[in-house]
Amino acid sequence: MPLPFRPGTYAPVLTFFEPKSEALDIETFKRHVSYMAKAGVGPVVTGSMGEGPMLSIDERLQLVKAAREVLDEHKLPFPLIVGTGLTSTKETIALTEQAAAAGADVALVIPAGYYPTLMTRKALKMFFMDVQDASPIPVMIYNFPGASAGVDMDSDLLLELAKEGRNFCGAKLTCAQIGKITRLAGYCDTSEYLKQYPRSFQLRQGQKPFVVFSGFSDYLLAGSAARAHGAIAGIGNFAPRSFRHLYEAAERANESGAKGDVTEARTLQLILSEGDYATTKLHIPGAKRILQDLRGYGGHPRGPIQPIEESLYQASVRLPAVQRLFELEKSLEAKAQPDSTSVGSSSEHLQRTISPIDQSVVVTRHVPSDADVETIIATSQIGFVEWKTTDLEARLAIATRFLKEMETAKADLSEDLSRQMGRPIAHCAVEVEGTIKRGQHMVNIAKEVLGDVTNQDTDSPGYVRFIKRCPVGPVLVISPWNYPYFCQVNAVLPAILAGNSVILKPSPQTPLCGEWFVELYKRAGLPDGVLQTLHSTPDQIERVIKDARIQFVMFTGSVAVGRSIVKALSGTFKNVGLELGGKDPAYVREDADLQKTLPALAAGIFFNAGQSCCSVERVYAHASIYDRVVEGLAHEAKKLKLGNPEDPSVTLGPVVSRRSADFIRKQVAEAVKQGAKMHVSAELFPAAHGNSNFVAPQVLSNVSHAMSIMIDETFGPVVGVMKVDSDEEAIKHMNDSPYGLTASVWTDATKSKQAFEFIVEKLDTGTVYLNNADNLDPALAWSGWKDSGRGISLSKFGFDAFTHTKSVNIKYL
């Protein structure tokens, strides 16, 4: 008894030939049928890609028998569909009977199209009715108006055939309108249809009385909504798992209607539609060449069909759309292997956040597969298309609610921050509160900054000009662990306010901080797809950076990684914002009020264990007050309490990693070996020992620029203090650095105003403080000079990176 024809995904199987003799290569054919079927795609033998017109009847039947052997041997639950048309009625009937005897379950019949003007409605109906009457197996109608000299049947004729022909089991509507699918599938999938028009074949569990299939993967999602039952498409030859994956996602989305399911299905549909369109143009020769590259077999078509032209093939497969399809297929195949150890296998690869406190695992996240990463990018693209049309008032309302949600969740945000990166719990709320204030400032200035720039002063009654600010597209934000909420709001909020979608890659040390942003924005009403988190491998994030759909990359972190990002983007014109390292100097002038200066300066040195890009890492003190500055900073350091950050009384927590702790200790030891003097005894901090992340604070004197401690970024609770005799000497040393993030000057603001202004002009830094440090104001531009970065965040200029300008020039005639 023939196997039932169930809904699903099927593909016209390629036929393979020996290289020289062009004889059938049956073993490769069987291998390919097995590969497709095990991936979830049923075979259609001698279909549109099977080179049927190039085969003898005997060769066709050899292929049918070979496919039957594969399906039976591996117990693969697909009916064997065989193409038997494109000939006269008599020949089609004869071939259908022979195919059935060879093991076919269903005959896919297409009328001959050599005389389309003679294939009238009456002739077409007669042809199909005669074939189905004589066929020993169910018949599927193949309607292909897109073929050369093809014919097209209207929905009335298709419905008549479905009703009157009791041996018809379905129709394949290639290039058909969705309305035709809706009408035919909608009627034939009802109990009324089966009751009035019973089938001549026995229906078994899971079988539909009359299935309606589309002919390209493009139609899967829309076809599913139109009640179609799947598709028969050539893409199943080289991307069977992606094809099946889309079918299942489309069915799930149309059944549940859930936003997440719909978004996933739309994302997959976009990938396959673009990839299918680009590869369909290569047809049989191209499909074989793709298989040769991806699976090691394929070969050439049988003459007179010619192999694919190499230049055309290379140009096509290098298209981003085709590469995304191939990456999706490879990742799905990797995930299907039970013992897969490939990068990106969510079942095998975990991202673990190690506590700086006790080295325990505090957060575990699955690393997404490459297919998951592709879905995230495609979802961001879809999210952008919808979000960019949302008016600014609605964006502002959602952002305002987001900040309120952050206020409500402040305790949880603070606790998670402390647990992941080790900052004293008493200091974590400061970042949450500061994040909210920054966000409020951005919301307050957004209308002015993102509104149209007019030229009313120079316009005339017949001549009007203005500049619009338009979103750039999907944005990638790579956030650090040391101040995750601050750095996330600096980029995420203005990007979303400007109408962009955002993929947020939080540090593996603080993954929850990124997830909190997505959750709070979701509570605020942000549509799905506009903001997503991505926990990924370095290789995956490099591919995301390079992906043409990502329009801007914002990175905060080390100089080394910043350079690698710039390198990854070489050859493109994609913009990137970089907030990198610092070795920020402070200069204490002779007229500074030390009673107020030293506690404030110490806070800029030791807060967050010195783990800030703008922490004060080197101090220059005028010779007349040098000893007092050293002693005063040491006194402030000794007041710190080093310990478990969960203790509210602790003011200094661990540094982020053992590697960081070891580097800091080594840097201090090398400086002492070179002649520096320590002013804080390690005995005051018993928690600080060589086998932990707890590092004692330290103040060093007698230092010089020959020492690493005064040149290389420390990122720890340590500072060197160097003696200078003049403003000019201080400026020289302050500028003697590859970094240029911030600098601070401590002096009498009234008496020494001119001196301060002179120093400001001479310093090579993005920010200069007077009598404060390590303090960002959202109204001021945050930028790094030299190796400290590129671009601007915060202030009204912080929106520029997330917008394009569009000039509108109107002349009234």
Catalytic residue numbers? 579
Q: How far apart are CA 695 and CA 87, in angstroms?
A: 84
Among candidate residues 524, 529, 576, 518, the one with its CA nearest the CA of residue 551: 576
Among candidate residues 691, 686, 736, the one with its CA nearest the CA of residue 712: 736
Task: Give the Å distances, CA to CA, from 741 to 560, 698, 792.
Answer: 16, 23, 12
Helix, strand, coil share (%) of the chain residues, nearest 5: 45, 15, 35
The H or E element that residue 354 is part of is strand 350-354
The answer to whether the Cα torsion of 339, 341, 345, 350 is positive or negative is positive
Residue pair 164/193 in contact by the 8 Å Cβ criterion: no
Q: How far apart are CA 468 and CA 807, in angstroms?
A: 6
Instruction: Tell me the three-class secondary structure of 254-286, residue by residue.
Output: HHHCCHHHHHHHHHHHHHHHHHHHHHHCCHHHH
**Between β-strands 584-588 and 616-622, what pairing exists: parallel, antiparallel or unpaired?**
parallel
**H-only helix segments in 409-510:** 410-421, 425-450, 484-497
CA atoms within 13 A on the CB side of 696: 23
Q: Return the number of other C-beta atoms located less than 10 Å from residue 466's C-beta.
A: 16
Q: How far apart are CA 559 and CA 564, in angstroms?
A: 9
For 328, residues 6+ apart whose C-beta sits below 8 A from its C-beta are: 239, 242, 245, 268, 271, 370, 371, 374
Task: Give the Å distances, CA to CA, from 783 to 496, 569, 612, 757.
Answer: 21, 21, 15, 19
For 485, residues 6+ apart whose C-beta sits below 8 A from its C-beta are: 413, 417, 431, 432, 435, 513
Burial of 343 (0-12, 13-18, 19+ CB in 10 A): middle
Q: Which residues of 258-274 are buried (b: 16+ CB within 10 A; e: fewer)?
A: eeebbbbbbbbbbbbbb
Residue pair 248/262 in contact by the 8 Å Cβ criterion: no
The answer to whether the Cα torsion of 93, 96, 98, 100 is positive or negative is negative
Q: Return the number of other C-beta atoms located less than 10 Å from residue 447's C-beta.
A: 12
Q: Which two tokens stand for residue 13?
A: 């199987």
The H or E element that residue 185 is part of is helix 178-188
Residue pair 140/81 in contact by the 8 Å Cβ criterion: yes
Q: Return the number of other C-beta atoms located less than 10 Å from residue 542's C-beta.
A: 15
Task: Give the Å distances, CA to CA, from 186 to 382, 442, 582.
Answer: 29, 52, 66
Q: How far apart are CA 672 and CA 700, in angstroms?
A: 8
The answer to whether the Cα torsion of 132, 135, 140, 143 is positive or negative is negative
Task: Give the Å distances, CA to CA, from 369 to 228, 748, 764.
Answer: 30, 58, 44
Render 702-769 in DSSP notation, one character per residue: S--TTSGGGTS---SSEEEEEEESSHHHHHHHHH-SSEESEEEEES-TTTTHHHHHHHHHH--SSEEE
Q: How far apart are CA 60 and CA 538, in angstroms?
A: 50
Residue pair 693/422 in contact by the 8 Å Cβ criterion: yes
Residue 552 DSSP one-character state: E
